[in-house]
Chain A
Amino acid sequence: MSFVVVRAGALTTVQDRGRPGYANLGIARSGALDLDALTLANRAVGNDDGAAVLETTLSGVGLRAVEPMVVAVAGAHCAVRVDGHPVAWGAPVLVRAGQVLDVGPAARGVRSYVAVRGGVDAAPALGSRSRDVLGSVGPEPLRDGERYDVGAEPATDGGWPGPLAARDVPDEITLPLVLGPRADWFTAGARRALWAATYVVGSASNRVGLRLQGAPLERRDGAELPSEGMVLGAVQVPPDGQPVVFLADHPVTGGYPVIGVVTAEGVGAAAQAVPGSTARFVRAVGP
């Protein structure tokens, strides 16, 4: 089975759960930014949770089925059409040979996830089909006219889990944060501002990081930090004091201090935070 890309959209990439274990070689895990949506879309078509799907960015994607295929859309809520007729979001949909599936612009949130029964069979690199936009590893972003193979029918099928719920995308996302490892590089005022301020999600946000604009987080002095390892969710603060939350394709090392680390739950919320919306840090509740 295969499909042809008729409308690639702003940035549509193949994503699975990523490639852990290569950070020492300069490669982040990458993978779907909204891992819950990846799982839900795959379950809706009977795939393994980590099968490769398409991740859209704000503007959706259009695909023409070469052979019949079963798809489901999760993540950011959007209009879904087959040959112009509205079909269900968050539920399995049959697209017949020659028909065009159009995944519309995100109505709320940023990234929709399009699972195809069998998985998107792009060429894996280092054990994953995820596109890492910073490391340039994995399948290139989709382009109009390209043809993609679909994998074999999944061997096991847990049955359709029922209609999916869209991730709640509130007007203001909350980012649960654990302070450190470099919180002591910042002034007491900066640490107060961190919990009190409302930040605006910047338009330069991408798979590498959620760029926040608001109260600058001031350092105690101009000391230089030797580059050190960075984790998913790290809130790095460059000299301008505007925090960046590292997402799936983040650099694996960095030389700006990390004031705190956003939890996995917060990283998932950040994946759907629309530029211009707002975000606040809250203290993460301990395990």
Chain B
Amino acid sequence: MHVHRVGTDALLVEVDTVAQAEALHAEVLRRVEAGRLTAVDVVPAARTVLLDELADRERHAREIPTWSVPEVGEASGPVVEIPVRYDGPDVGDVAAAWGVDVADVARLHQEPTYRVAFGGFAPGFGYLTGLPPDRSVPRRASPRTEVPAGSVALAGEFTGVYPRASPGGWQIVGTAVDVTLWDVARTPPALLVPGARVRFREVR
């Protein structure tokens, strides 16, 4: 674990794996909940957790490396279920990358219970972890200029759902049905909040 000072009042805590980053983020949230850490923003990412406008920064900079951070196990609590039509243009490429039949992509994508590791690409976008290591896929060689809202896609060790139309380079396997990923009138506005669990269910 490495603690970087950022500007005058933030820390960037760096670890080695996305699993460690998820565990660290969960530990930060426990400490926020318990009133032992106060930050305006806590931003998890692939290998880091940013603590922005952190009160008592220097004390935390000293203490964080001594934290004992439990692994994120099989999380309990509610699961967000996302109905999906597996009609994406890249199902064939994903099947090829996985070495399976096109017909198996939907079943294999639905098997894991995923976890929202972090967001950040667009409001309401969540990077979901839980794909087995042998189910990684490369990004598309050439990104699309417009990926439709609701696209269910994969890249690297992650899967996710585009909350709004945007450019994107992920492999699209399907379309989320009847879910609103982002709504500023809702609390919280994002359906997929870091730490939440997610399952995909095929609909036709």
Contacts and interface: CB of A to CB of B under 8 A. Distances in A.
Q: Do A and B come from one complex?
A: yes
Interface of A: 20-27, 125-126, 135-137, 178, 180-182, 226-231, 233-234, 251-253, 258, 261-264, 284, 287
A227 B50 CA distance: 11
**Which size bracket describes the interface of B in this complex?**
35 or more
A230 B8 CA distance: 13
Interface of B: 4-8, 10, 12, 14, 40-50, 52-53, 118-125, 164, 184-185, 188-190, 193-194
10 contacts: A22-B189, A25-B123, A26-B120, A27-B123, A126-B189, A227-B46, A228-B12, A252-B43, A263-B7, A263-B8
A228 B47 contact: yes
B48 A135 contact: no
Given A26-B190, A181-B4, A229 B119 contact: no
Contacts of A261: 6-8, 10
B48 A180 contact: no
B43 A24 contact: yes
Contacts, number: 114
Contact of B193 (A25, A230, A263, A284): A25
A25 B188 contact: yes
Contacts of A136: 123, 164
- Chain B CB within 10 Å, residue with most, of A252, A262, A287: A252
Contact of A229 (B12, B164, B184): B12
B120 A226 contact: no
B8 A287 contact: yes
Given A24-B41, A26-B121, A229 B193 contact: no
B8 to A, nearest CB: 6
Contacts of A135: 122-123
Contacts of B48: 226, 228-229
A253 B47 contact: no
A21 B41 CA distance: 5
Given A23-B41, A253-B120, A264-B8, 9 more contacts: A20-B40, A23-B43, A25-B190, A135-B123, A137-B184, A180-B6, A228-B47, A231-B10, A258-B6
- Chain A CB within 10 Å, residue with most, of B45, B185, B188: B45
B8 A284 contact: yes
Given A20-B40, A126-B189, A181-B12, A231 B7 contact: yes
Nearest to A254: B120
A180 B4 contact: yes
Nearest to B18: A226
A226 B47 contact: yes
A228 B45 contact: yes
B6 A125 contact: no
A20 B52 CA distance: 10
Nearest to B116: A24
B86 to A, nearest CB: 26
- Chain A CB within 10 Å, residue with most, of B43, B44, B46, B118: B43
Closest 5 CB pairs of A and B: A229-B50, A253-B120, A261-B7, A229-B43, A181-B4
Nearest to A177: B7
Contacts of A252: 41, 43, 119-120
Contacts of A126: 184, 189
B122 A26 contact: yes
B115 to A, nearest CB: 14
Given A263-B8, A284-B8, A25 B42 contact: no
Contacts of A253: 43, 45, 118-121
Nearest to A184: B4
A25 B7 CA distance: 22
Contacts of B122: 26, 135
A231 B44 contact: no
Contacts of A178: 5-8
Given A20-B41, A24-B193, A180-B5, A231 B123 contact: no
B52 A23 contact: yes
- Chain B CB within 10 Å, residue with most, of A21, A125, A228, A263: A228
